[in-house]
Amino acid sequence: MSMDQTDRTYAVSKTDEEWRAELSPAEYQVLRQAGTERPYVGEYTDTKTEGVYACRACGAELFTSETKFDSHCGWPSFYSPLAGDSVEYIEDVSMGMKRVEVRCATCGSHLGHVFEGEGYGTPTDQRFCINSISMTLRPQADAG
* Closer residue to Zn ion (CB): 65 or 106: 106
* Closer residue to Zn ion (CB): 22 or 92: 22
* Closer residue to Zn ion (CB): 82 or 107: 107
Contact 76, 47 (CB under 8 A): yes
> In the complex, what is the shortest distance from the CB of residue 95 to Zn ion, in angstroms, rounded to a whole number?
23
β-pairing, 126-130 vs 87-92, is: unpaired
* Closer residue to Zn ion (CB): 58 or 129: 58
- Which residues are tagged catalytic? 129
> In the complex, what is the shortest distance from the CB of residue 34 to Zn ion, in angstroms, rounded to a whole number?
14
> In the complex, what is the shortest distance from the CB of residue 134 to Zn ion, in angstroms, rounded to a whole number?
8
> In the complex, what is the shortest distance from the CB of residue 108 to Zn ion, in angstroms, rounded to a whole number?
7
Sign for the CA dihedral angle at 27, 31, 36, 42 comes to positive
Residues at the site binding Zn ion, with contacts judged by CB under 5 A: 55, 57-58, 60, 104, 106-107, 109
